[in-house]
Structure 1
Amino acid sequence: MGKLTTRGVDALKEPGRYSDGDGSGFHLRIDPQGRKYWVLRVNDASGKRRDVSLGSAKRMTLAAARENARQVRDRIAQGDGAAVVTPTFREAARLAHEARTAGYRNDKHVAQWLSTLERHAYPTIGDKPVSDITRADAVQVLSPIWLATPETARRVLQRLDRVMRWAVGHNHRDERIDMSLVRDALPKQKGKRAAVRRMPAVPWREAAEFWRSIQMSTSAPQVRFALMLLMLTAVRPGNVRLAKRSQMDLEAGVWVIPAEEMKAGERHRVPLSAEAVTIIRSAMALHDHDQLFTVGGEPLSLDTLRMMMRRMGRTETPHGFRSTFKEWSLQAGWSDHLSEAALAHQDPNEVRAAYARSDLLEERAPMMAAWGSYLAAPPQIP
């Protein structure tokens, strides 16, 4: 095939690679979905042949792509190849997780995050350029574990999404993979809701009294603040333990929890009551780290919160405060769909869930404000 032309590129439809014909390594790649990308094939510092993603043919002209390719070759000749060569999925996963955990010292968590991908993703796509990973690849990775170990499959899907987002942000891909379409291509996971186990919860009528007990507790301030924020926001304990100052917009009164830290794998916005903002400001005043609640530089453990409750004479669990909030919201007259949105529960009705695009943030804010006022109200004198 001769040199590529604009008209010829427009006419090409078959998936594959189409060289520019000059031996420079510059070529057009068409993926199985028919999307077209400019790619430069080069040899890295070790002599291994690698691909450099130059961008989408839909957004970049042939002339601009050739110029980009020339600049990349110049950078490689100057010894700057590592900055431009497209990483494999294995390399991208390591870099993505290093970027996410920069400044943290929890090596165990880093190892667990990567070991999950090592077991379930690397055998299939580990050595594939991250620019070439497709929805079909994601489905292939997830299919063997989707029904056998649903919880592990959910974690793998979230981590695939994280790596793809990192790749887009570093110009190694033109777009991320829509993981909702990956889910649609997999079988329905049966019985997931039936397996839910209720956690022992503080009765809602005792919640305000327990709140005052926390305020008077002699426990470390960061532990008290974490437990109080858990009560105020009705999020899962893991979300509070991993909360970061960079996730908090205190002026707007919103806490944004990223998708990879949510059970459902979707970003969750939490409206913050005045009481919650006060607690967060108090926690921030204890140190300058991004991680909000720490002990010895590490995030609080769930056992730390449990033990505080035990010392206060309670047998319930930190997770149970979600049930406490739910029961209060229903007796206080708040609609079920608002409290379910606050708890980040997914609607089991797939058709209804497909149309429910809003997270109801503005509607949830008055409910969370009322909950905060209920907890912090002074005791009534008979």
Structure 2
Amino acid sequence: MATSGIRTPKKALTAAYVRTVTQAGKHFDGNGLFLKVKANGAKQWVQRITIRGKRTEMGLGSADLVSLSEARDVALQNLKVARSGGDPLRAKRESQAVLTFEDAARKVHELNKPSWLNPKHAAQFISTLETYTFPTMGSYKVSDVTTSDVLAALTPIWLTKQETARRVRQRIGVVMKWAIAQGWRQDNPAENIDQALPKQTKAVKHRKALPYGEVATCIQVIQNSGAGRSTKLALEFLILTAARSGEVREAVWDEIEFETDPSANPANPANRAVWIIPAQRMKMKREHRVPLCTRAVEILEEARDIADGGDLIFAGTKAGKPLSDMTLSKLIKELGFEADVHGFRTSFRTWAQEQTNVAREVAEAALAHAIKDASEAAYARSNLFEKRKILMDSWASYLALGEAEIITLGAAK
């Protein structure tokens, strides 16, 4: 076999020769490919090739891992790329630079962390991938992850932890879309796998809610409890406005629009303020204007008396930090009520349905729910604010009286 740089015919080497040769030196094959045998017996494939007018040598891997036929295939492909004006050496370097799925996921997590409004969501993004994907495919190049790898990660939890599995799938997709943007792959293996996964049953988890007839009593018990004043005010404000916990706990003074003249609306003097929740704090990412009843305004005045000088209306025990959702939930449970904080929205909705003649869309608008029917949503441009004023005043009156009487809402002008 040739051991010098003289021209040799293509396929000059044989698999047996590659396996048995021990003589140190360069053993040439064809298309610039040669087997380099070192003095210690190690064998490596190398290709001598001219790339854009510059002669260079490319390593093609150990002969223990790359067979003769594989080395020939790579050498031929490199030669074709070089002759067409490409740079196979650069392509090789870029391929080696491709991150593993784990490294890519951590990179995506860091890039997106500033955009997540809730630190908990940012932490969950990476923790679920650490738990359910890194053990099986974390070490794979992100360019090499296949649909079967994604299925292997999702299948064990697809039916037992349905919501978690859906989120893991979505987060895998986020990583893959980033890899596509990097030019490392052309497809997203987390998509188009529905037929390969068993059908999930929709398990609806209802939040525990108090019967609306017990809400007034609950407010009285809260007011008489030994809880912090800010906590008690926040809970009552939440109930009166039928708002979500996070919307109330993170509310700031700039979101409140007070009427400068209490007599500005003599037809309805109870509504002397509006709470304007910005889109970024709303679940549907749409600004929500909440008409505030007299008692809600009183709560704001009480909250201002105990304000720590910060932006938050209902500040927690730590300066500049809002009350925690756990603080509100814990108080409700400790006072003996089997209900979730979010369940007060259900109490309000049931009351509106059973104790008023208010139209469904008015009650839904009060809860800032989206209209699911696309055709209906296209024509529903009003936020029904004036009708919601009357509804929220009626809810406050009902809670103050504690009486289950049918309330007829007149048409708002």
TM-score with structure 2 length normalisation? 0.48
1:366 and 1:134 map into 2 onto residues whose CA distance is 55
Cross-structure match for 2:25: none
Structure 2 CA distance for aligned equivalents of residues 111 and 184 of structure 1: 30
Distance in 2 between residues matched to 1:128 and 1:344, nearest whole Å: 44
Q: Which of residues 73, 77, 89 in structure 1 aligns to 2:104?
A: 89
Q: Find 1:21's aligned residue among 86, 101, 107.
A: 86
Residues in 2 aligned to 1:139 and 1:249: alpha-carbon distance in whole angstroms = 49
Correspondence 1:150 to 2:162: yes
Aligned match for 1:230, one of 224, 228, 238: 238
Tell me the CA shift for residue 273 of structure 1.
1.1
Contact preservation (8 Å) 2:300, 2:313: no
Asked whether 1:308 is paired with 2:331, we answer yes
Read off the aligned partner of 1:272 and give its amino acid letter: R
Are residue 319 (structure 1) and residue 342 (structure 2) matched?
A: yes
In the aligned structure 2, how far is the partner of 1:102 from the partner of 1:189?
30
**2:208 matches 1:199:** yes
Partner of residue 292 from structure 2, selected from 275, 287, 296: 275
Give the equivalent residue in structure 1 for 2:277. Answer: 254
Residues 175-215 of structure 1, C-alpha deviation per residue, up to 9 Å, x if partnerless? 998x997779855421413xx346141x3345456557756
Amino acid at match of 1:204: Y
SS at match of 2:200: coil
* Partner SS for 1:272: strand
**Other-structure match for 1:56:** none
Root-mean-square deviation over aligned CA pairs: 6.0
CA-CA distance at 1:355 after TM superposition: 6.1
Structure 2 counterpart of 1:117: 129
CA shift digits 1:32-74 (9 cap, x unpaired): xxxxxxxx9649xxxx6237xxxxxxxxxxxxxxxxxxxxxxx
Question: Would the alpha carbon gap of residues 159 and 229 (structure 1) be closer, same or farther in structure 2, given more than 3 Å must change?
Answer: farther
Q: Give 1:230's aligned amino acid.
A: L
Deviation at 1:308, TM superposition (A): 3.0
Match of 2:352 in 1: 329
Superposed CA deviations along residues 253-310 of structure 1, whole A, max 9, x for unmatched, are 2344679xx6xxxx45462313299678958964657897544477644442134335
- 1:150 is aligned with what amino acid? Q
TM-fit CA distance, 1:314: 4.5
For 2:182 and 2:358, the matched residues in 1 are separated by 46
Residue number among 179, 190, 205 corresponding to 2:201 in the alignment: 190
Deviation of the 1:339 alpha carbon: 4.6
| Shift of residue 119, structure 1, vs aligned partner | 1.9
Residues 341, 291 of structure 1: CA spacing in aligned structure 2 closer, same or farther, 3 A cutoff? same
- Counterparts of 2:161 and 2:116 in 1: how far apart (Å)? 26
SS in structure 2 at match of 1:324? helix
* Partners of 1:322 and 1:343 within 8 A in 2: yes
C-alpha distance in 2, partners of 1:139/1:361? 43
Say which is worse superposed, 305-314 or 243-252, in terms of deviation. Answer: 243-252
Q: Output the CA distance in 1 between the equivalents of 2:222 and 2:383.
A: 29
Which digits, 9 at most, give the CA deviation of each residue in 1:75-107, with x for residues without a partner?
xxxxxxxxxxx9943223441564357996x8x
8 Å CA contact 1:233–1:272 kept in 2: the answer is no
Q: For the Cα contact (< 8 Å) 2:307–2:315, is it kept in 1?
A: no
Q: In the aligned structure 2, how far is the partner of 1:229 from the partner of 1:215?
A: 12
Look up the equivalent residue of 1:149 and give its one-letter code: K
Task: Extract unaligned runs of 5+ from structure 1.
Answer: 4-17, 27-39, 52-85
Q: Pick from 347, 372, 379: which aligns with 2:392?
A: 372
Structure 2 unmatched ranges of 5 or more? 1-50, 53-79, 258-273, 404-413
Paired residue for 2:267?
none
Q: CA distance change for structure 1 residues 111 and 336 in 2, over 3 Å: closer, same or farther? A: same
Counterparts in 2 of 1:309 and 1:290: CA distance versus 1, 3 Å: closer
Q: Which amino acid aligns with 1:374?
A: S
Distance 1:358 1:25 in 2: 52
Match of 1:95, SS?
helix
Structure 2 Cα separation of the partners of residues 380 and 23 of structure 1: 81
Matches within 5 A, 1:165-180: none
CA contact (8 A) 2:106 2:126 kept: no
Task: Give SS of 1:273's match.
Answer: strand
The one-letter code sitting in structure 2 at the alignment partner of 1:328 is W
Offset, 1:325: 1.3
Matches within 5 A, 1:291-306: 294-296=316-318, 300-306=323-329
Question: Which structure's CA Rg is the greater one?
Answer: 2
> For residues 330 and 87 of structure 1, do their structure 2 counterparts lie closer, same or farther at Cα, with a shift above 3 Å needed?
same
Tell me the CA shift for residue 362 of structure 1.
4.0
Residue type of the alignment partner of 1:322: R
**1:112-141 superposed Cα distances (whole Å, 9 cap, x missing partner):** 553211122334664567799899986775
- The answer to whether the 8 Å contact 2:216/2:402 transfers is no
- C-alpha distance in 2, partners of 1:373/1:341? 15
Q: Identity over the aligned pairs, expressed in percent?
A: 25
